[in-house]
Amino acid sequence: DQAVLTFHGVPGFDVYNPSIPFVWTGGTYLYARIERRSEWARSWVRLFRQTGQDDWTLVPDSMIYQLEDPYISKIDDQLVMGGTHVRYSRGKIDTFYGYFYRGEKLDDMTYFTTGPDHMKDIRLVEMANGHIGVFSRPRYEPSGPAARAADIGFTVIEDLDQLDAHIIDKAKPIDGLLQPDEWGGCNQCYLLDSHLIGVAGHKACRIVDEQTGRASMLYTNIAFIFDPEHHQLETVKLIGTRSCYPAGPAKMPELADCAFTAGLVPRTDGRMDLYSGIGDTQVGRITIDNPFAGYGRIITPF
C-alpha cells in the first residue's frame, strides 16, 4: 500500500517533511512544512486536519510558524511541537536552531526553549519513569573528531523545564549507528513496553556519479532500537527508500533520492504506515511490517 498525500488550502506551495499524523481533541492532525518550489530555506509550518484517506486540509486561521521539518510528541499529557528555525543575516543563512512549543490547545502553543546552534532533528520521548529522553544531532567540522557531518546522541532530563541548548549539546553519541561517510537523525521516538525506545529516523550520504561528477543526496528511512539504560544500540534497519513511494517531482535534481522520515503510525492489522517527505516536494505513505517487532509493544503512538 502506497500513496502520495493530497493537501488543500495552500495553493502555490509544496507540502513536505511533516510530523506524523496524531489524534487530538477529536480530530486527526499533522504539522507540515510548506514552501514554494522555486525557493529554498524560506518555509513555514502549518497545521492540517485529515479530511479523507490520505487527504488533508489546512486548519483555517491556525498559527503560522517560521520553521522547517516539524515533529510532534506527547509529554506529560501535553503536546510538544518542534521544528528548525533558520536565521538569516544580511540576506544569507547565518545559522539554524531547534525551536520548541508546548501546550494542550493546538491554536495556543507556547514557545518555551531553543536548541543548540547548528543542530536539527532534536527529538523527545516520555519514558516509563516519567523522565524525558532527548535525542540530539551533533554536527562535526571536517577537522573535528569524526568525518561524518552529523551524529545522533542521547541524554535524559527530568522535566521539560530542563530542556535547553546546554543539556542537548552534552548528549552522549550513540556508537555503531552511522558509518564515517554518513549522517542521520531521529524523526520520531516511541517508548516500548520493554522500556526500550523504538526510533524512526533517517540516514543520508553524498553520492557522486563517476561519469558526470555530479553529486546527489541519498536520504533513506531507517528504524532502530535503543536501550536507554545501557546507552546501547540494539538493532538498525532500512525501512524505506525514495523508490518505495510513488514517483514524483524533486525540488532539485540532487534531491531525487531524498526520503526524509516523518514517522510510523500503527495499524489495526499489526503493520505500520510509514510517512515520509519525498523529493522535498511531497509527502508519501507506505505500509511496512512493524520494525520494532520482538523488542516490545508501543505504549503510546507519539
Which pLDDT value is given to residue 149? 58
The DSSP bridge pattern shows strands 132-136 and 282-288 to be: unpaired
Amino acid at 216: S
pLDDT at 293 (0 to 100):
97
Q: What is the pTM of this model?
A: 0.95
CB atoms under 10 Å from CB of 296, counted, come to: 17
Between CA 137 and CA 118 the distance in angstroms is 9
The C-alpha atoms of residue 255 and residue 112 are separated, in whole angstroms, by 33
d(CA 152, CA 117): 15
> What's the CA gap between 190 and 124, in Å, rounded?
9
- Segments of 59-196 assigned E as strands: 68-75, 78-89, 92-103, 110-114, 123-126, 132-136, 153-157, 172-173, 182-191
Helix (H, G, I), strand (E, B) or coil at 207: strand
Phi, psi values for residue 29, rounded to 5°: -130, 165
pLDDT tens for the 302 residues of the chain, in order: 999 999 999 999 999 999 999 999 999 999 999 999 999 999 999 999 999 999 999 999 999 999 999 999 999 999 999 999 999 999 999 999 999 999 999 989 999 999 999 999 999 999 999 999 999 998 755 444 444 456 899 999 999 999 999 999 999 999 999 988 899 999 999 999 999 999 999 999 999 988 888 899 999 999 999 999 999 999 999 999 999 999 999 999 999 999 999 999 999 999 999 999 999 999 999 999 999 999 999 998 77
- Laid out side by side, the sheet with 132-136 consists of 123-126, 132-136, 153-157, 172-173
SS3 17: coil
